[in-house]
Amino acid sequence: MVERKGRAGTRRRWMVTGLTLLAFIIGPLLTTLAFGVVGVLISDGTPEMAGFPYSEQQLRTMMAIDVALGLVAVGLLPVALRRAPESQLLESGDRSEVFQLKEPVSALIAALVIGLLVTASSSAFPAWFIAIVSICSRGNRRWIYCIPPVALVSVAAGFFVFPSGGDLWATLMAIALGIAITALPMVIGLLRWSRRRQIRALRSEAATARREAEALVRAEQARVAKTRAEERTRIAREMHDTLSHRLALISTYAGALDYREDLDRDTVRSTARLVQQTASTASAELRTVLDVLRDDPSDTRPEPDLTLADGLLEEMRSTGIRIDVVVDRPPLSEVPDTASRALYRMLQEALTNAVKHAPGAPIAVRWQGDDDEVHLTVTNPLPGSPSDPRGTGRGIGQRSGFGLIGLDERARALGGNVRTTKTRDEFRLEATVPCRS
């Protein structure tokens, strides 16, 4: 930023030097040319110059004074071109106006003095032209309003310095010339001011757009972080649902080996093999989740849904648990994917919960509903109840509160609900999930 301002200041100084040099060359050159033409006409005795009131000697004196005053105007021009630094720019709230703060008043005074010098010096015209452009390009209305009165005074005073001798045509030409050398640079200056204001407004809009883009990037990063956190929470819930189920099966197999003393060697080996397979599956699923938590996208396996429900039930039956299933609704394969995945996890958690807290007890699964929603009911007798074939039995593991809470969150996210009831004899899980596509 500092380097850019330094380059802008250097360009500004070179521009002021160039304009001053231009006025220094053009002003005296035009004056010398004009007085030279008049002098030649007088020397040749041209009839049109017969009534001219000045002699050649007087013309030379007037030309010297004219050039001297023009050089004074050129000397004042750098002061008239002085500008406020860019750091003092103030932008209004609607970004449609840009004002200069602390513009040097000396610039206006120098420009007005140059305008008065034009009264007696045609050499000052270029400096006056450049000064008017500079003043009007600042956009300061009060300063702009000062220019026409000075131009009017300059034109009026010119008639006393160079009387027209009552020639109407000469008078009109002088007035037209005064208006032209004032109005033209004013228009140029105002156009420059308008362009500069538009550029600053565009820069301001670009800066605002850049800030908004940065804010959007930050918001997107926050959204991604939030999504990632939610996804990891979902993965943790999936891990609980899966590992809890596998560990419950391992506990069931191990418990059978513990209290069944009548098992033959082949049955013991088969049960031990099931324990090993279940543990290996649980370990593989744990590695999968850990890979995901390390932002490893290599695992793209789909989440299980109701198409795998029969396999889940058969896996549970392989432990010796009796599971009765009743389906009173259209085919489960027609349930939408989101609802199907949620219902699979609900069935899995309900079976796991039953195995953990009532090992060996029969489980009843019932599917009900219609095309709009699915009702899942899973019931199992509690240990020690008359319907428990195991008698008192032994529970394995602690209460799975996280799993049941996770099920309710799943159901609520889909517009459904999960309800659990516990009586002296029975535990019941009832889930309702909308299945409209």
Question: Where is pLDDT greater, at 266 or 381?
Answer: 381
DSSP string, 178-200: HHHHHHHHHHHHHHHHHHHHHHH
Confidence band (pLDDT; 50, 70, 90) for 5? low
Cα 7 to the center of its chain, rounded Å:
31
| Lowest mean pLDDT, pick from 196-205, 270-279, 281-290, 340-349 | 281-290
Residues 306/340, Cβ–Cβ less than 8 Å: yes
Residues 203 and 322 in one domain: no
Query: In the chain, pLDDT over 90 holds for what percent of residues?
Result: 9
Tell me, yes or no, whether 233 lies in a domain: no
What's the pLDDT score for residue 397?
A: 37
Tell me, yes or no, whether 249 lies in a domain: no
Q: What distance in Å separates the CA atoms of residue 339 and residue 329, rounded to the nearest whole number?
A: 15
What's the pLDDT score for residue 98?
A: 43
Among residues 159, 161, 182, 185, the alpha carbon closest in space to that of 172 is found at 159
Q: Which residues contact 335 (CB under 8 A, 6 or more apart)?
A: 306, 343, 374, 435
Q: Average of pLDDT values for 265-290? A: 72
Tell me, yes or no, whether 263 lies in a domain: no
Confidence band (pLDDT; 50, 70, 90) for 82? confident
Residues 331 and 185 in one domain: no
Tell me, yes or no, whether 255 lies in a domain: no
Q: What distance in Å separates the CA atoms of residue 165 and residue 51, rounded to the nearest whole number?
A: 9
Tell me, yes or no, whether 107 lies in a domain: yes
Among residues 357, 354, 360, 365, the alpha carbon closest in space to that of 389 is found at 360
Strands 426-434 and 373-381: antiparallel
Residues facing 429 on adjacent strands? 378, 420
Q: Domain boundary residue among 216, 246, 281? A: 216
What's the pLDDT score for residue 435?
A: 80
Distances (CA, A) of 177 to 33, 152, 155, 165, 371: 18, 12, 9, 18, 92
Q: Is the pLDDT of residue 209 over 60?
A: yes
Distances (CA, A) of 308 to 139, 144, 187: 77, 85, 82
Q: What distance in Å separates the CA atoms of residue 114 and residue 126, rounded to the nearest whole number?
A: 10
Q: Specify the 3-state DSSP secondary structure of 358.
A: coil
What's the pLDDT score for residue 108?
A: 84
Q: Is the pLDDT of residue 248 over 90?
A: no
Q: What distance in Å separates the CA atoms of residue 225 and residue 245, rounded to the nearest whole number?
A: 30
Q: Average of pLDDT values for 348-362? A: 84
Residues 75 and 211 in one domain: yes
What's the pLDDT score for residue 52?
A: 59
Distances (CA, A) of 303 to 183, 285, 288, 333: 79, 12, 12, 15
Q: Is the pLDDT of residue 168 over 90?
A: no
| Lowest mean pLDDT, pick from 82-86, 225-229, 272-276, 334-338 | 82-86
Question: Where is pLDDT greater, at 84 or 204?
Answer: 204
Tell me, yes or no, whether 67 lies in a domain: yes
Q: Domain boundary residue among 164, 182, 216? A: 216
Q: What is the mean pLDDT of the chain?
A: 76
Residues 59 and 207 in one domain: yes
Among residues 6, 153, 128, the alpha carbon closest in space to that of 70 is found at 128
Q: Is the pLDDT of residue 50 over 70?
A: no
Q: Is the pLDDT of residue 271 over 70?
A: yes
Whichever domain contains 424, its CATH number is: 3.30.565.10
How far does the chain reach from its first CA to its final CA, in angstroms?
57
Q: Average of pLDDT values for 299-312? A: 77
Helix (H) or strand (E) holding 300: none
Among residues 109, 133, 120, the alpha carbon closest in space to that of 181 is found at 133
Q: Is the pLDDT of residue 214 over 70?
A: yes
For residue 359, the 8-state DSSP code is: T
| Lowest mean pLDDT, pick from 217-221, 272-276, 316-320 | 272-276
Q: Average of pLDDT values for 197-211? A: 90
Angle at alpha carbon of residue 290, lines to 285 and 295, rounded to 5°:
125
Cα 346 to the center of its chain, rounded Å:
42
Confidence band (pLDDT; 50, 70, 90) for 53? low
Q: Which residues contact 91 (CB under 8 A, 6 or more apart)?
A: 97, 98, 200, 204
Q: Average of pLDDT values for 38-59? A: 62
Residues in the chain: 437
Tell me, yes or no, whether 343 lies in a domain: yes
Q: Is the pLDDT of residue 250 over 50?
A: yes
Q: How many domains does the chain have?
A: 2
| 366 dihedral zone (left: phi>0; alpha: psi -120 to 50; beta) | beta
Tell me, yes or no, whether 105 lies in a domain: yes
What's the pLDDT score for residue 377?
A: 93
Phi, psi of 424, deg, nearest 5: -65, -30
Q: Domain boundary residue among 168, 191, 216? A: 216
Residues 187 and 87 in one domain: yes
Q: Is the pLDDT of residue 430 over 90?
A: yes
pLDDT in tens, 369-410: 887 889 999 999 887 655 554 433 333 333 444 567 777 877
Q: Is the pLDDT of residue 12 over 90?
A: no
Q: Average of pLDDT values for 120-137? A: 87
Confidence band (pLDDT; 50, 70, 90) for 147? confident
| Lowest mean pLDDT, pick from 128-132, 299-303, 330-334 | 299-303
- Residue 327's domain spans which residues? 302-437
Residues 205 and 317 in one domain: no
